[in-house]
A and B are shown apart, each in its own frame.
Chain A
Amino acid sequence: MKHDIVIIGGGPAGLAAAAAAREAGARDILILEREKELGGILNQCIHNGFGLHTFHEELTGPEYAARFIAQIQELQIPYLLSTTVIDLSSPASGGVKVTAVSRENGLVEVEAKAAVLAMGCRERPRGALNIPGTRPAGVFSAGTAQRLVNLEGYLPGREVVILGSGDIGLIMARRMTLEGAKVKCVAEIQPYSGGLKRNIVQCLNDYGIPLKLSHTVVDIQGKERVEGVTIAEVDEHLKPIPGTEEQFSCDTLLLSVGLIPENELSKEIGVELSPVTSGPKVNESLETNVPGVFACGNVLHVHDLVDYVSEEAAQAGRNAALYAAGRNEDQGEEIPVETGGAVRYTVPCRICAQRVEGSQVVRFRVSKNMRNASVCVYADGREILRRKRPVMAPGEMEQVLLKQKDLLGVKQLLVCTEE
């Protein structure tokens, strides 16, 4: 049996993509989810702050997920739970072949005209940082600790140091404090936090937890269990400065040091990845270089707000529906989106102006903190957009909306910041 669309991942991206695809006319959609419930990582994000853009109210993660799950159920979109996709390939007959395994159905092969990649991301582990020291129990990535506390009901430790001021780390600082743990400090190697201001105020300042910017962990002590960590200040090259070491006794080190889009499956089917985002390179339809394979959410690039994931995923879902209906033929040349100034990357990184419907969202992140800089877009050297931003930060995603009429016939497109 050949489905119209198969969606890999039933988290916020997959759910929004599925709903939008159905609303765009796709009849036969299948969602594959590896966990035993839909909702993805939102299920363990029990804090509030989700949905301000989408629903104009502050929801917790599970509440936000539940609204999309309800929509999937209303639209009667089928899904398989506890089902892990183990391979993606392009059959000679066209489309996409998905191989998945589950306890219930064994090894199954599913073919679809289009696929939406919505696998999310994973946390960078200790090894990726090469943090020296012993290798005891008590070193957790923040998300693992979050799952243990919020879903399993267990406290990983009582005295905690957190490395990295990403939002999950900040959220966990508060969460563990509320559960009776003592969070001694949050160390951040950069001179600025990667987390939202609001989280710094409400998760750290509210509880008197110090945030040590330009600091990192240089040693972990303890043979069986973490007994302490050494933190040192770093110079402008992020190298520890000898003599600045400070000792913290603790039984737990949480790491919140970055997220990496999970694209092992994408690679199996030949999806080209961006070295900057580690996510697929996509065009204006969020389609990868493999025809009929779309990507959205954190597998595409790491987002700061789930609302933007939902919005982006809906676009991917709509385009997948168009593709499956055979209505997404090549209508013109794709031009690359070039980056300049502090713009690190853009999604999409290629645009076919003819396929843009009215306007096109371009999302990006910047490489440094800036005040009163402008985002500028040039088409063949002509300025087509200039937006002043009071503040831009690496931790926050930016976006601009380009009009189709400004893009038609353009050979060269540049998105940059100007200070």
Chain B
Amino acid sequence: MIQCDIVIAGAGVIGSAVARELSRFEGSIAVLEKNADVCEGTSKANSAIIHAGFDAEPGTWKAKMNVRGNEKMDKLAEELDIPFQRCGAFVVCLHEEELPKLKELYERGLANGVPGLKLLNREEALALEPNLSDAVCGALLAETSGIVCPFELTLGLAENAAMNGAQFYFETQITGLERREDGWLVKTSGEDFLTKAVVNAAGVHSDELHNLVCENKLHVASRKGEYCLLDKTAGQHVSHTIFQLPGKYGKGVLVSPTVHGNLLLGPTAADIEDREETKTTAEGLGEVLEKSALGVRNIPIRQVITSFTGLRAHEAGDDFVLGETAEGFFDAAGIESPGLSSASAIGEYLAALIAEKLQLARKENFQPIRRGVPRLHDMPAEQRKAYIEKNPAYGNIICRCEQVSEGEILDAIHGVLGAKTLDGVKRRTRAGMGRCQSGFCSPRVMELLARELSLDLREIRKNEKGSEIVLEKTRG
């Protein structure tokens, strides 16, 4: 049994943000994650957008947290050493008769306190974004909208929390929650935890945890969205995130540059029963390609390098569920879009509530600065040279598509929350994310993982238990 002040269920972006904000205070934090790494659920597969905040109904948690979260991003990105670009967003209107809806969106944005909104006619929009489709008859420009790498954001938050004392327990599934006199007994697949407070950041499973302890039941539907990612050669096709006017299923299909220079198309939207089902389908991918062409013309769809499915935790009440919903039980449930944008604000809000409840004092020595794995590819030649001189492993290129060196991979493996799997290395360094999709580098990354973690190659996994990559030795 492990005793602590706060147990956070889930190491997605929300759990990690809460952990980081809470680590500003005294008190012991345990983050429990059923998967082998941070950012394995909803947080990993989404549109990677930091929304401006014009979309949600004024007064909702979604509206408040989004606007506040967006505001915080510049400083956060700097502190955590993660990529973030305020590339701006367009909401394009494709039918003349819907122009009033665009105006409504603009006004909703003003009501939510979103700065930098402008209504543009077709010509003004085209001047900024020449590849808009012929159907575009007007657009809302949101200058504060941005793009981020969801994994790096989550990892940055989690590592910074860990640097400041939060303990992370991976492959630790919560199996039960029992009330104790002074808090909760959290039963897990590993050790049990005795804690004063529980934070529910369990993503698509957040209703299950909530419903264990609360009278007021939640129902979270897993809403599946399929995406296509295009090669970097297509990354310049648009320079803003291009949304279509929102329809019945959320924000519709977007076309966006990514912080790594690729082009992202998606998502579709379909409610599914199995909360872990992340299959892509021929229909879904077809729909992505078809719908994305409505707002943006000549998308080079032959340059698709991968496709994936994300799951959004849609709560029946259509808003985030935030706050102390049972004694010592704090919800961050039903966090769907704009959850990524809202994460740091949700962390800030819940941490303040919990600190007050548990009477936690602020730490004097909180260290807000975290440094990620250096990216030699992005460095000027002189700096790169200096890095390689200091550590020759930075000169040994392992992933040729993304030019990731052995040194970077070793940094990822031996980092604060070090990578243990191929996917873990990939998300921390981009090794395997390029156009060959790990064909060349995966055997070499596997060798490095095996060497550094003293494992046999047969023990190296793609991600979770059961995802071992090679099965047998052919000789000896």
> What are some 20 contacts across the A-B interface (CB < 8 A)?
A86-B403, A101-B395, A104-B395, A106-B392, A122-B440, A125-B305, A125-B436, A126-B437, A127-B437, A137-B468, A141-B439, A143-B439, A147-B443, A153-B476, A154-B472, A154-B473, A155-B474, A156-B469, A224-B467, A225-B467
Closest 4 CB pairs of A and B: A127-B306, A224-B466, A125-B437, A84-B397
A133 adjacent to B280 (CB under 8 Å):
yes
* Known A86-B377, A132-B284; further 11 A-B contacts with Cβ < 8 A: A127-B304, A127-B306, A132-B307, A137-B462, A138-B469, A141-B436, A141-B439, A148-B470, A153-B476, A156-B471, A224-B462
| Most interface-central of B306, B440, B457, B461 (chain A CB within 10 A) | B440
B residues near A (Cβ < 8 Å) are 228-229, 276, 278-282, 284-285, 304-308, 377, 381, 384-385, 388-389, 392-397, 400-401, 403, 405-406, 435-440, 442-443, 447, 457-458, 461-476
Residues of B within 8 A of A240 (CB): 282
Q: Determine whether A246 belongs to the interface, using a CB cutoff of 8 Å to chain B.
A: no
Residues of B within 8 A of A135 (CB): 278, 280, 308
What is the predominant secondary structure among interface residues of chain A facing chain B? Answer: mixed
Q: Determine whether A190 belongs to the interface, using a CB cutoff of 8 Å to chain B.
A: no
Distance between B462 CB and nearest chain A CB, rounded to angstroms: 4
Q: Determine whether A53 belongs to the interface, using a CB cutoff of 8 Å to chain B.
A: no
A residues near B (Cβ < 8 Å) are 34, 82, 84, 86, 99, 101-107, 122-123, 125-128, 130, 132-138, 141, 143-144, 147-149, 151-158, 179, 218-219, 223-225, 240, 251, 264
B395 adjacent to A179 (CB under 8 Å):
no
| Most interface-central of A101, A147, A224 (chain B CB within 10 A) | A101
A224 adjacent to B385 (CB under 8 Å):
no
Instruction: Out of B307, B403, B465, name the residue touching A127 (CB < 8 Å).
Output: B307
A157 adjacent to B228 (CB under 8 Å):
no
A128 adjacent to B381 (CB under 8 Å):
no
Distance between B157 CB and nearest chain A CB, rounded to angstroms: 25
Given contacts A106-B385, A126-B306, A136-B462, contact A155 B397 (CB under 8 A): no
Given contacts A84-B400, A123-B439, contact A134 B279 (CB under 8 A): yes
Contacts across chains A and B counted by CB atoms under 8 Å: 146
Residues of A within 8 A of B442 (CB): 144
A223 adjacent to B276 (CB under 8 Å):
yes
Given contacts A102-B396, A144-B442, contact A152 B457 (CB under 8 A): yes
How long is the Cα–Cα vector from A256 to B209 in the complex, in angstroms?
45
B385 adjacent to A107 (CB under 8 Å):
yes
Residues of B within 8 A of A101 (CB): 384, 388, 394-397, 405
Distance between B54 CB and nearest chain A CB, rounded to angstroms: 33
Across the interface, name the chain A residue whose C-beta is closest to B381. A107
Residues of B within 8 A of A223 (CB): 276, 464, 466
Residues of A within 8 A of B393 (CB): 103
